[in-house]
A = this chain, B = another copy of it.
Amino acid sequence: MAAPVILVDPLPRTLEQIMTPAVRARLESLGRLVISEARPMHDDEIEALLPHAVAIIGQTAMPRERLGRAPQLKAIINVETNFLPNIDYAACQARGVWVLTPASAFAAPVAEAALGLALDLGRGISAADRAFRAGSETYGLEANLDTIRFEGAPVGIIGFGDLGRKFRELIRPFRNEVRVYDPWLPAEIIERLDCRQSDLDTLLERSRFVVVFAAPTTENAHFLGAPQFALMQKGSAFLLMSRAAVVDFQAMIAAARSGHIRVATDVFPVEPVPADDPVRATPNMVFSAHRTGGTRDALFEIGSMAVADLELILKGLPPQLCRRADPAIASRLRSQPVSKT
């Protein structure tokens, strides 16, 4: 009998990026790895492997007919951390094939950076550094006229998945009143983490720090625009940590430029941002070039979550770490293949 095959088709990632040697060794002990890293795996290779494949690690297309030719397949683990439309999710569910992604791998570094950016906006850290380098600094109380202390300030979290919840845990010592807006969640989940379920408008009106972790869906494009920014208190902080598609980006820039709010963003409508984009000179902003998630440890976390769950699945146990693709949800997410992070 042929050894069980693990089909590894991880582009745009590579195994070296996402697995430490120790984790890779654990993977190798689970089956024979067939890896395509220089280019996406060719269809004929895939077809030849399907009869023996127990798992796919990567973004290989898996329409219904291919599933039929992979009778031993037990798991498909997307290591890009997006659920793509190239899989027949319903057929996988019907067959009992786990479709997973280690989506929470980025939660810790993004949440940490979000707190760093929030403290920067509140305490004026990068602006004060720029002023000092320019010789225009002020000192002491005079330098704190616009300071918002993060401790105790009302915080609003928009989107309360892995990232939002991790952020919530990081800020516990600051004893904020935390409102959460997430239309996919019941109040119970929110209250268990000592937050208050809120509608969007109230959250915007009451929070001094608004942090957006909401993933783009078929329903929420540009749901944060000029009317929403207008609801925020003057001088409050707005942090965009997820994807540019959920905001009206130009309205956000305008709200910062006018001084109505201060803004930090990790994402942009087009990346890389054009060299001459006038956004680069916007005051009252902190810019982060889509870099809060892409840390070495986050990439390794992808690999270790994938392997730990595959170990469980091959023992007949349910996975514990990756997110499962609920067909209804997968079809509502508007993720696109990533080139970076």
Residues of A within 8 A of B (CB): 17, 90, 93-96, 108-109, 112-113, 115-117, 119-120, 122-126, 128-133, 135, 137-144, 147, 149-151, 169-175, 184-189, 194, 271-273, 275, 280-281, 286-292, 294-297, 299, 304-305, 308-309, 311-312, 316-318, 320-321, 326-329, 340-341
Contact = CB atoms under 8 A, between A and B. Distances in A.
Given A151-B108, A308-B186, A130 B128 contact: no
| Dominant SS among interface residues on chain A | helix
A131 to B, nearest CB: 8
Contacts of A128: 287-289, 291
Contacts of A275: 135
Nearest to A289: B137
Nearest to A279: B132
Contacts of A138: 289, 291
A192 B140 CA distance: 26
A115 B125 contact: no
Contacts of A175: 194
A4 B93 CA distance: 25
A174 to B, nearest CB: 7
B271 A139 contact: yes
A144 B96 contact: no
B320 A141 contact: no
Contact of A280 (B132, B194, B280, B317): B132
A49 to B, nearest CB: 24
Given A172-B173, A321-B186, A289 B109 contact: no
A34 B173 CA distance: 40
6 residue pairs, one from A and one from B, having the closest CB atoms: A116-B119, A140-B340, A126-B126, A143-B291, A94-B94, A132-B287
Nearest to A114: B119
B120 A340 contact: no
A327 B186 contact: no
Given A125-B286, A140-B294, A318-B329, 9 more contacts: A93-B93, A108-B149, A113-B119, A137-B272, A141-B341, A142-B340, A144-B296, A186-B308, A189-B321
Nearest to A133: B280
A194 B143 CA distance: 31
A311 B119 CA distance: 35
A271 B18 CA distance: 48
27 contacts: A94-B94, A96-B327, A112-B151, A112-B174, A113-B123, A115-B115, A116-B116, A117-B125, A123-B292, A125-B125, A125-B126, A126-B126, A130-B130, A132-B289, A133-B287, A137-B272, A137-B289, A140-B290, A141-B294, A141-B296, A144-B295, A144-B296, A147-B295, A171-B173, A173-B173, A186-B308, A189-B320
Given A133-B287, A316-B328, A320-B185, A294 B143 contact: yes
Q: Which of A132, A189, A292, A294 has the most CB of B within 10 A?
A: A132
Given A108-B151, A280-B132, A317 B184 contact: yes
B139 A340 contact: yes
